[in-house]
Amino acid sequence: MNYPDYRPRRMRRTENLRRMIRETRLAPEDFIYPLFVVPGSGVAKPISSLPGQFNFSVDKAVEAAQQAADLGIPAVILFGVPEKKDSVGSEAWKESGIVQKAIRAIKKARPELVVMADACFCEYTDHGHCGVIVDHNGTKEVDNDQTLPLLMKQAISFAAAGADFVAPSDMMDGRIGAIRTALDAAGRTDVQIMAYAAKYASAFYGPFRDAVGSAKTLSGDKRTYQMDPGNTDEALREVELDIAEGADMVMVKPGLPYLDVVQRVKETFGMPTFAYQVSGEYAMIKAAAQHGWLDGERAMLESLIAFKRAGADGVLTYFAPRVAEKLAKS
């Protein structure tokens, strides 16, 4: 194209001019706030590798969810850290489970808030993997088909507690179809599914594993069931399968290292597409800011605008309350 005498710098001279022509914007409704829920009362235990984030008891999780709602954030997603763990993660589907209690309490306090529940077993198992472990010819591995019925039980339990969304993050084959079938059979066609559709075997999950207590118990890695970081065509196949099985929203995880995947997913399918700015991404910005190596507030905003620019409809981020506060003042 030929733009004679076009001088873009003229439109960058003042803040108001820059605001007038800004192509991509952030708003509080772009965010989903992750919360970690633990047993007890009055608990707000700092997570050392996630500065500014906490393991909350249910009462404190309700307070955090209410604060998020007051800031205009439309949704929270809950991760449970049970007192007892076992080989199959049986606390995950109990009516008295920690996430189930939190769902009921948050929905009672703020019925309008969208409450999502992460469906997986890494927080609940004593081995830190996302499903049932079996011995296969002397090698321990996650058994896909034995895990599916347990995911179905977990999803039904979350729905019964009042969750608006179940968010399967396990990466088992066929889990979206299994969960959709289970929810429909239980008469819960109203409960939606946000699929962790393209979840990579990433090095950026470390602080999350500290938060849920699986860092010390996890043996080996998750590369046999989470995606290879070198693949993007495979991500499209995974997303397509999840949509065909009944996913209402799809997610790419992690976020910033996979913006190309976010863009391809959105352009290919046109589905509500979310990205998870995972614990390692958050922790790197916080640590660098604490050392004075970068401007933490600007880095926070710049990282989040990148998701929207790539095509994400929203972002799961631990920055959600802080950025919503900042946006309210701008």
202 DSSP 8-state letter = -
Classify the phi-psi angles of 228: left when phi > 0, otherwise alpha if psi is within -120 to 50, otherwise beta: beta
**DSSP per residue over 107-143, as a string?**
HHH-TTSEEEEEE-STTTBSS--SSEEEEETTEEEEE
286 assigned to active site: no
| Catalytic hit among 101, 253, 266, 286 | 253
Cβ pair 192, 164 in contact under 8 A: yes
List, in sequence order, every beta strand (DSSP E) within 68-120.
75-80, 114-119
| Catalytic hit among 60, 101, 199, 266 | 199
199 assigned to active site: yes
**DSSP per residue over 253-273, as a string?**
ESSGGGHHHHHHHHHHH---E
Of the candidates 308, 306, 300, 307, the one whose C-alpha atom is nearest the C-alpha of residue 324 is 300
Q: Annotated active-site positions, please?
A: 199, 253
